[in-house]
Chain A
Amino acid sequence: MSAVTDFLDDFLADPEFGPSVGHVERLPPRDAVWADLPADLPDGIRRALAARGVERLYSHQAQSLALARAGRDFVVVTPTASGKTLCYNLPVAETLVQDPDARALYLFPTKALSQDQQAELNALVTSGNLPIKAATYDGDTPQSVRASARDTGRIVITNPDMLHSGVLPNHAKWISFFAGLRYVVVDEMHAYRGVFGSHVANVLRRLLRVAAFYGSSPRLIFCSATIGNPAELAGLLAGRPVEAVTENGAPSSEKAVLFYNPPLLDPVQGIRKSSALQSRSIAARLLERGVRTILFARSRVRVELIASYLNEHFRNLYTENSGVRVEPYRSGLLPTERREIERGLREGTVHGVVSTNALELGIDIGGLDAAVIAGWPGGLASFWQQAGRAGRRRDLSVAVYVATGSPLDQYLINHPERVFGKGAENARIDPYNPYIYLDHLKCAAFELPFRDGEKFGDDPSEGLSMLEDEGIVRHTGGRWFWASQGYPAEKLSLRSATSDNIVIVDATEGRNAVIGEMDRPSAKELIFDDAVYIHRGRQYIVLKLDLENRICTVEERDVNYYTDAVVKTDLKVLCEDQRFGPDSAPAVLGDILVRSQAEKFKKLRFHSHENVGYGEIYLPPEEMQTRALAILFPEGSRAADVLDSASNDMRKAALLSGLLQLMKSLAPVQLLCDAADLGGAWRLRDDHYGVPALYLWDRYPGGTGLAEALGPMLGSLARAASERASTCDCEDGCPSCLGVYDGNPDFARGRKKTALSALKILADAWRA
């Protein structure tokens, strides 16, 4: 019996935990589906495969090779550890062996992944003695090796950021590479959604444009974790149709997935035991038994909190367990710190890790036995990636999903069929986000002049004439020439709305060491003056956030609370583009201006999360134009009548805030986005429409397609919302459904009933 089996038996029988396990799904082991190696495979490759113990292929690998040989673009959708790298390494190696001028480009979303892949490729190349040199070309590549990577690298491994800012703007140095480019491999495609994906679609567009200039038209190979629309996403990224390979032929080991809903403490207010604390307890149980465990938490702050709780727990045990080492892993750590933790996990010196979704991607950390997922990770693809971190060996592994009190989690924990059924969500990008499009239009014009009538996805002439107005391109002789001293790629970051990151400096006892960084909008809400910032389990107080010089000075200090900003939001409607639903319950898609300002913050005690004080924040507001969906309650409509049944404005406000809270928190299930990607506000009487309104908007300037996608989904959103509210045990709304009304509780009394009838009307109206 394995330690995992022991754990499962005891856990389910434990009176403290067992009753809270709502669902146990046993995923049986799966046998492989094999296909023979093609008879005409070049000998060198056959030898290389044999040396690596590969005598035949999984069915999806064979299918990939066939598609590549037929010159098709395709996307392979497979779970973790299913031999997906061979899906592209095989056709690429075959082409490169047969054609000495052929080249390939591999794109990975992070530098760490590039390094892993280079090692894997090298192993394949050496074992077959193949004449294929793979070279990593990224920000860490020393100047001295760059020229040789450019000139002799047959496979160049890089990331979209480097392609965007280093390679494409200097394509004249890469002539032979581009002229011979036959394949572009885009791995971890599901990572390219939202803002990042919208940027990457444009970078690929630029790449294909430059390749065409040198006379090549490379094929595209994508690999992705499970998402609902792999072919569609790949098609949007590629800018042309892409075929999907979805039948996975790889075997898998047995896995148990547990759905754990923390017990209710107060049914009336709907308060449950904290998911963070419960996850910690579950992880502690696993670690005590020597089960190597990864715990996924939703935010950087939580990761730090839970890791420090766990280490505290093991320090307090006067047993052999006190040697258990748990590390936090999240963005904002320095690269060396990350590498150290990854190595520790592979080598077994780190037993447990608490991570944000940063470890979701295929970074090699070896086999773990258990994954604890604290709170819904924002999508099925993420969920299965995280669950897949456990179980790389033959033995039974376990994944425990611990629900938070949020409506989304509470909905899903009661609907395991949404997770185990087949319907994965769709990943969305908007390559035509006007800001993103315009930024890449600049970069493309810098790379090569546009000809009149040339396409850049869409017709770029409107954008080009905007750039002409700004004086940075010149239209003459039938072409648009870059006419500025600037180097546009340098100023454009693919990862965040703004490229001006804030550097966090630890000034404790004159250390003056950089310990992390953060984008500006987040900084305004997380590391304002007097905020508590937690980094690798250490607490720091922010001494000064200097936005102008992009420096945040912090000092290490022990406090018993953390901080949470209260943000105030103003809206202005800029245009109405499209209407959804009938006139009785319309929703309007359009651009809005959002102005948000953090004005004060709460101090919350660790563990109990009780409010122990307030502080002021003095920072300029953040402004952006974006896409929003406004749900309206026109006068005389049935929905408005329901609202009016609330006897006064205060009651109406309590009702609207509840509806917004519920819909905003359930929308991410449908949209495959992070809860933080959506903003929301309610208006008792909207300035623009003159009627009560609920707004949901995309939190990235210009939008990434979320508001557009939400329009047609309103019916199912209303149905899910209504179901969540009706099955919740609370009386007048709780964090798991309508939220807690933070005004006078009298006004919230009875609002749940009203909300339910409003939701029913909306669901009926939007049924079409």
Chain B
Amino acid sequence: MPNDLRSRLKRIRESSATAGQARPMNPGGKARCEDGAPARSEWLERHGWARLGDQVWERRVECPGIHAGATMDAGYLSARGRGSLVAPEDIVFFDLETTGLSGGTGTIAFLSAFGSFGRHGYSVRQIFLEDYPGEPLFLEASGDELSRFKAVASYNGASFDLPLYKARRTMNGLPPVAPALSLDLLHAARRLWRGVLPDCSLSSVERGVLGVRRTDDLPGSEVPDAWFRFLATGPHPELALAMDHNQADVAGLASLYGLLSAGLAAGRLRKADPRGLASLIARVDLGRAARVLERSLRTGDAGAVPELMRLYWKLGRRDERLALIPLLPDDARGLYLKSIHAERVLGDAQSATRFAESAAKLAGSSEKACDAVLARRADRRLRRLEQLLAPDA
């Protein structure tokens, strides 16, 4: 049976060709321009690339005008980093461009960018894989960059770029690189700007917070095809855009880092949700986080109260915490706490009953699991208070 597999495959191939079946628009497979290598080299050189080795290229671009920011506690951006101080010069800003976004061992990286602050300001080194066989060299060159620094800053790198890079090394029989401290700025950006910006993609943050609008940018989803097309038919303008996109990403990353390091130290950050900002600062300094929320409360943000109460609790500032209770929003939890407060602090059983009743009603009509617990507690509290107030008691 196996010997006729080839002919059966051929027939299927022919019949699907004659049936005019739509070919997928994904032209990366066939190496149709075998003799296009000189043209490719010339094009790459024209775009600032220099050959690093067989099928691997590098280029370095200076990025004037990006400020280094300040030395800060890595704990703001990484739970593992608490207590270790990182200077901007200790950080490599890192981004990969890959052949797909769904992961799995068939996805590879073909372009990497490493930004760092040196004596002459910020510069970006990029490494480019011209074709598959160069992958081991590409990975090793990238690994050298990663292991030179104390920390790696990325945007979603903790879940995507770094695991993918690790998997590619495994697949190519290379040992893992020494794990640097990973600072994933996406996590911070989500806390700060979710709900403020339309989404938390790096370009949205750049536009909305840094006031930088990228021109001629290639959407991330089109990057893989840009490389596949280069493989199949040689250089084309979209690949240049993809390369610039990769470079712009790590430039934006450094700017964002500068903004964050200053803002976290100062406790003020442009357009940021104060509660998100406080939650980041609280990882390092509870007192400073509380001050951020106090300021927000003074401007009328009642939503800051529950978080501020939690901080006071941790800080052991009991009286300040109690004083906040009447300011709590009238949601189930707020009402429940107000009931306790009315009974124990104010000695007002009537109000306490009223609060407990509203809390029980609100929590009972919610479908959230935590509200079910609250509903039961509010109910118990209400019954007890009602007994207390009953005329025959």
Contacts and interface: CB of A to CB of B under 8 A. Distances in A.
B10 A462 contact: yes
B106 A469 contact: no
B327 interface: no
A148 B364 CA distance: 37
* Chain B interface bracket (under 10, 10 to 19, 20 to 34, 35 or more): 35 or more
A577 B24 CA distance: 31
A471 B23 contact: yes
A575 B11 contact: yes
B99 interface: yes
A275 to B, nearest CB: 37
Contact of A437 (B5, B10, B132): B5
Contact of B1 (A430, A466, A575): A430
A277 interface: no
A172 B9 contact: no
B30 A474 contact: yes
Nearest to B8: A434
B34 to A, nearest CB: 9
A468 B30 contact: yes
B13 A466 contact: yes
Interface string A603-627: 0000000000000000000000100
Nearest to A708: B1
Given A476-B31, A485-B99, A591-B11, A445 B106 contact: yes
Given A471-B29, A476-B132, A438 B9 contact: yes
A461 to B, nearest CB: 9
Interface in A460-500: 462-463, 466-477, 479, 481-490
A42 B195 CA distance: 61
Nearest to A593: B15
Interface string B86-107: 0000000000000111111110
Contact of B9 (A463, A471, A481, A705): A463
Interface stretch (B208-216, B223-231, B366-374): B223-231
B133 interface: yes
Contact of B24 (A170, A463, A470): A470
A447 B105 contact: yes
Contacts of B105: 169-172, 446-448
B27 A471 contact: yes
A487 B99 CA distance: 11
Nearest to B99: A485
Interface in B1-55: 1-2, 4-6, 8-13, 15, 23-24, 26-31
Interface string B126-150: 0000011100000000000000000
A700 B157 CA distance: 44
Interface residues of A, number: 53
A346 interface: no
B23 A470 contact: yes
Contacts of A435: 12
Contacts of B10: 462
A540 to B, nearest CB: 30
B167 A487 contact: no
A462 B27 contact: no
B181 to A, nearest CB: 21
Given A448-B105, A458-B5, A577-B4, A486 B131 contact: no
Interface string A166-191: 00011111010000000000000000
A574 interface: yes
A477 B137 CA distance: 14
A432 B104 contact: no
Contact of B132 (A458, A477, A574): A477
Nearest to B169: A172
Interface of A: 169-173, 175, 430, 432, 434-435, 437-438, 445-449, 457-459, 462-463, 466-477, 479, 481-490, 574-575, 577, 591, 625, 702, 705, 708
26 contacts: A169-B105, A437-B9, A438-B12, A448-B171, A458-B2, A458-B6, A466-B9, A466-B12, A467-B29, A469-B29, A470-B26, A471-B26, A471-B28, A471-B30, A472-B26, A474-B31, A474-B231, A482-B106, A483-B29, A484-B24, A485-B100, A485-B225, A487-B103, A575-B11, A702-B8, A705-B1
